[in-house]
Structure 1
Amino acid sequence: MIKNKSILNYLLLFFTMASLAQEKKAAPTTAELFTEIEQMDKLVFDAFNNRNMPVFKALFTEDLEWFQDNGGLLSYETVFKNFEIMFQKEYTLTRSLVKGSLEVHPVKDYGAIEIGVHQFHHIENGLEEIGTFKFLMIWKKKEGQWKISRVISYDH
């Protein structure tokens, strides 16, 4: 039995703090936020699939950072130079979101995190090629407009 009340109080405080530290304090994702980001994802990739560079490019912040597992950190300028080259190729690369893979999480006073799995399709040598990859995008909402400020593309 513990005879010193100070030690007992410290132990109680320690276990109380430890149990509180294990609780999740993340803000829940609202249906409204999920729907907004789902719609923004569709808007971005409709522009991508239709090679509509003005609409596509306008949905990213100019301080964009794009991290790719096999390409490193890419700047805004490099990203859009690469997309311009891609959009001029003979084959058409299209993207689709894998059904059920979308996650959306709020970012306090900034916007949202979008996580998911997507597939890119194109015809090469008469055969359909499909690549399935994971992604994470940070969306910034400023003055009522959503734009992507960070992209992490991985599992290539």
Structure 2
Amino acid sequence: MNPVISLAIGAALLAFSTGALAQRAGPQPTKALTDEIAAADKVFFTAVFDTCDTPTLARMVTDDFEMYHDKGGLTSTSGAQFVKAIEGMCARQKTGEDYRSRRELVAGTLKVYPLDNYGAVEVGEHRFYKLTPGKPEQLVEVALFTQVWKKDPGGWKLARVLSYDHRLAETSK
């Protein structure tokens, strides 16, 4: 077949398929989906910051989990690596090498969008507090996050995390 004709047919097929996708609206957010993701978010961050519950974390992340952080770049490339990093953080907290933190989702910032045939995207803003025994908690920083959740037969699993726009408490909005 003539290369020009092949190229024209390929371009027409691409235009048709792209146009077909553009002709339909994507799945719309629902309260039920938002509630499910908010609940999974709470369990996940409680396990990371409050209880150091690494068995729960291991069940809540995909094998190919990735985390990107504005202060550290690509910080995890697998679920196992992420869980191991949290185990290390918890061990440092027990010895006093690191301080304990509390994460707080900023009220009114959580948004959840469905990803057809996959899961959901969660975006929001959160605050991090330093916890020192015998002292009031101290707001340390505020940041934005975007997370991709995968719907699994066993529940929701976190597949991707983007943590960015970290601002020190003194300069936060």
Question: Normalising by structure 2, what TM-score?
Answer: 0.70
| 2:126 is the alignment partner of 1:118 | yes
Q: Map residues 3-152 of structure 1 onto 2, 5 A cutoff.
A: 25-48=25-48, 49-73=50-74, 74-76=76-78, 77-88=80-91, 89=93, 90=96, 91-123=99-131, 128-152=138-162
Question: Which residue identity does 1:43 align to in structure 2?
Answer: V
Q: Matched residues in 2 for 1:72 and 1:81: separation?
A: 17
Identify unmatched segments of 5+ residues in structure 2. Answer: 1-21, 167-173
**Partner of 2:62: helix, strand, or coil?**
strand
- Higher alpha-carbon Rg: 1
**Partner of 2:100: helix, strand, or coil?**
coil
Question: Relative to 1, partners in 2 of residues 1:24 and 1:69: Cα closer, same or farther, differing over 3 Å?
Answer: farther
Q: Matched residues in 2 for 1:123 and 1:94: separation?
A: 7
Q: Matched residues in 1 for 2:154 and 2:52: separation?
A: 25
Contact 2:127 2:139 in 1 (8 A): no
- Greater CA drift, 41-50 or 124-133: 124-133
CA-based RMSD of the aligned residues comes to 2.2
Question: Which residue identity does 2:77 align to in structure 1?
Answer: S
Q: Matched residues in 2 for 1:69 and 1:152: separation?
A: 8
Superimposed CA distance per residue, residues 103-133 of structure 1 (whole angstroms, 9 cap, x where no aligned partner): 0000000000000111111136967242111
Contact 1:123 1:129 in 2 (8 A): no
Report the identity percentage. 36
Identify unmatched segments of 5+ residues in structure 1. Answer: 1-20
Q: Matched residues in 2 for 1:33 and 1:70: separation?
A: 30
Q: Matched residues in 2 for 1:32 and 1:129: separation?
A: 31
Contact 2:34 2:112 in 1 (8 A): yes
Q: Matched residues in 2 for 1:149 and 1:121: separation?
A: 25
Q: Number of matched residues?
A: 135
Question: Normalising by structure 1, what TM-score?
Answer: 0.77
